[in-house]
Structure 1
Amino acid sequence: MSFHTTLRAALFGISALALGVTAASADQLADVKAAGKLELATDMHYAPFDMLNNGTYEGVTKDLFDEVAKDLGVTPNYMDVPWTAELPGLEAGKFDMVIAPVTITPERLQRYTFTLPIADATVGLVKAASNDAIQKPEDLAGKNVGVQQGTAQEKQLQAYGDKIGGIEIKGYGTADEAYADLAAGRLDAVAGSSPNLAYLVKNRGDVFAPVQPAFGAPTYFAWVLRKDDASKSLADAVNQSILKMHEDGRLKAIQEKWFGAATDLPTEVPQN
């Protein structure tokens, strides 16, 4: 065998090995099953979806994804990550999925793979229970309203403020911080997704009251994966699990446990 033939064979072997590695890493579901676990990022300060109760993680997200993990046959590793670091961390490959409830938007659909919706995300407002001056969303023109920074809710609040003549918006790292300032009288209202606000009022109705009706357009929460070929297998498997939970009642039971009622959700990913 000549030197050139040997060299070509060696190069072919290296190329085949590289292709084999690429093929093996192009199926995220297979990788996850091989590892036996899923690395999952969420912000554990977003009740009732994600909460720390005496150091123990609980909430809607955990109940739902515990069921998904059972269906997939893997162990979920839940990581507490600030919201502003979650999507950049996903893109950097620091975890497999973001399971903090992420609002589906056209812009995000271009950049990420979304699962089927796991909850309603329509944006509303909450005020201090003692504040009789605010009866409807339009009454917040010129008022101070808090919202979690970097969220779709913040963008909708900005657009609504422009529509009614201006709102003084104050951004917070977590919704809990905004609620604390509202309770202390430093804000006139807080904007957030309807399920979060309903849970807040349900548990602290002596302090907070809803501002009716919700001002946002109907939107939904879902979970997020990277937008690449490798992620499709895992996204498909998660969606199959969510569909099973629709059919067997697990999704409804978890909604009723945390929200007090169940909401019909799309069984396809909304594209607008």
Structure 2
Amino acid sequence: MKLTSHRTSRRLRPRGLVAVGLAVASVAVLAACAPASTDGVVSAPSGSSSAAPDSGTTLADVQKAGKLVIGTEGTYKPFSFHADGSGQLTGYDIDVVTAVAEKLGVTPEFQETQWDAIFAGLDAGRFDLIANQVSINPERQAKYDFSTPYTVSHGVVIVPASNTDITSLASLSGKTTAQSQSSNWYQTAKDAGATVQVVDGWAQSIALLEQGRIDATVNDELTFLDYQKTDPSAAAAVKVGATTDDVSESAFTAVKGSDSLIKAIDQALAELKADGTLASISDKYFGSDVSE
């Protein structure tokens, strides 16, 4: 089983994140001026984690402070974003971590920042935890503590609804796919023997597929589920032809030494799973349970 990064594979998406150059220039502004949530959950303009300097964040630290300070983007739909109209901070990750904070008996306080600065913010003690689809990999595990995964996703091969030829990754040999060159799916398609047309991201890939100009596109299952949920009419024209061996697991991330906090979060996630809360939140955003 090969673990891949959610965050890398879906980096280019139809909703258009702020360009990298603007992101670097605006990190400080966003960190200082994060908008307030309207749902009773604090999205503070500034703050710091509950931990003592140069140590992990303990459960006692968080409970003494009465809050769990959480780093998130706020621009990553459907995981962490501001709802149209109300402008409140919402999303799959936001709902899950809010439910976890409630189990811990503390208030979630969100610090919004760009993805490129989110680990630096955790390292600097700006927040206790990252909730932003951080995928688990060996490099990150060497530096950070991770909760049990709350998102599990496979790679999928998307084909026209009428297609009967592509039923496995090997079926892509000699076919044409469209992939972002910066994503891991580009190499997956190349390794399968496909001719890959380079595009900016999911929106272009799916447009070319619907126009019949390519045979397939390889992407993350969550991207496809989100597409089905938000635009079911358009999504009816395509289907999952095959599933890859790539599996990505995303978890909450804390600095090393946060053992007691992570243990408490794992217990909260287990309870939320047992009582159906995780499945319910998953269905709200994806129409499917992506927590397992």
Please report the TM-score for the alignment, with normalisation by the length of structure 1. 0.69
Deviations 1:13-64, CA, capped at 9 Å, x for gaps: xxxxxxxx97995553222222222221223343332232122222211221
Distance 1:39 1:262, change over 3 A: same
Q: What residue in structure 1 maps to residue 247 of structure 2?
A: 218
Offset of residue 126 of structure 1: 4.6
Deviations 1:220-250, CA, capped at 9 Å, x for gaps: 2211111x22x11211111111011122222
Q: What residue in structure 2 maps to residue 3 of structure 1?
A: none
Separation (CA, whole Å) in 2 of partners of 1:114 and 1:25 = 16
Are the equivalent residues in 2 in contact too, given 1:134–1:211 (CA < 8 A)?
Answer: no
Q: Which sits farther off after the overlay, 184-193 or 213-222?
A: 184-193
Q: Where does the alignment leave 5 or more consecutive residues of structure 1 unmatched? A: 1-20, 172-177, 266-272
Separation (CA, whole Å) in 1 of partners of 2:274 and 2:163 = 43
Q: Which has the larger radius of gyration?
A: 1
Deviations 1:183-229, CA, capped at 9 Å, x for gaps: 66599676543123212123213434344213242332211111x22
Deviations 1:79-130, CA, capped at 9 Å, x for gaps: 3333232223322333211111122223332232111111222122557x69
Offset of residue 69 of structure 1: 0.9
Does 2:101 match 1:69?
A: yes
| Equivalent residue letter for 1:34 | K
| Equivalent residue letter for 1:46 | Y
Q: What residue in structure 2 maps to residue 236 of structure 1?
A: 263
Distance 1:42 1:22, change over 3 A: closer
SS of aligned partner of 2:117: helix
Distance 1:194 1:77, change over 3 A: same
SS of aligned partner of 1:215: strand
Residue from 108, 117, 120 that aligns with 2:149: 117
Deviations 1:111-154, CA, capped at 9 Å, x for gaps: 32111111222122557x6997995655486643137x6xxxx3
SS of aligned partner of 1:255: helix
Separation (CA, whole Å) in 2 of partners of 1:191 and 1:92 = 36
Residue from 252, 255, 266 that aligns with 2:279: 252
| Equivalent residue letter for 2:232 | G
Distance 1:97 1:23, change over 3 A: closer
Residue from 38, 42, 56 that aligns with 2:72: 42
Q: Where does the alignment leave 5 or more consecutive residues of structure 2 unmatched? A: 1-50
Q: What pairs with 1:122-271 in structure 2 (closer than 5 Å)?
A: 122-126=154-158, 135=166, 138-139=171-172, 143-146=177-180, 154-155=183-184, 157-164=186-193, 167-169=196-198, 178-182=201-205, 185=208, 191-208=218-235, 209-226=238-255, 228-229=256-257, 231-262=258-289, 265=292
Does 2:135 match 1:106?
A: no
Greater helix content: 1
Are the equivalent residues in 2 in contact too, given 1:41–1:78 (CA < 8 A)?
Answer: yes
Does 2:60 match 1:33?
A: no
Distance 1:56 1:132, change over 3 A: farther
Are the equivalent residues in 1 in contact too, given 2:150–2:249 (CA < 8 A)?
Answer: yes
Separation (CA, whole Å) in 2 of partners of 1:26 and 1:111 = 12
Are the equivalent residues in 2 in contact too, given 1:46–1:196 (CA < 8 A)?
Answer: no
Offset of residue 65 of structure 1: 1.2
Please report the TM-score for the alignment, with normalisation by the length of structure 2. 0.65
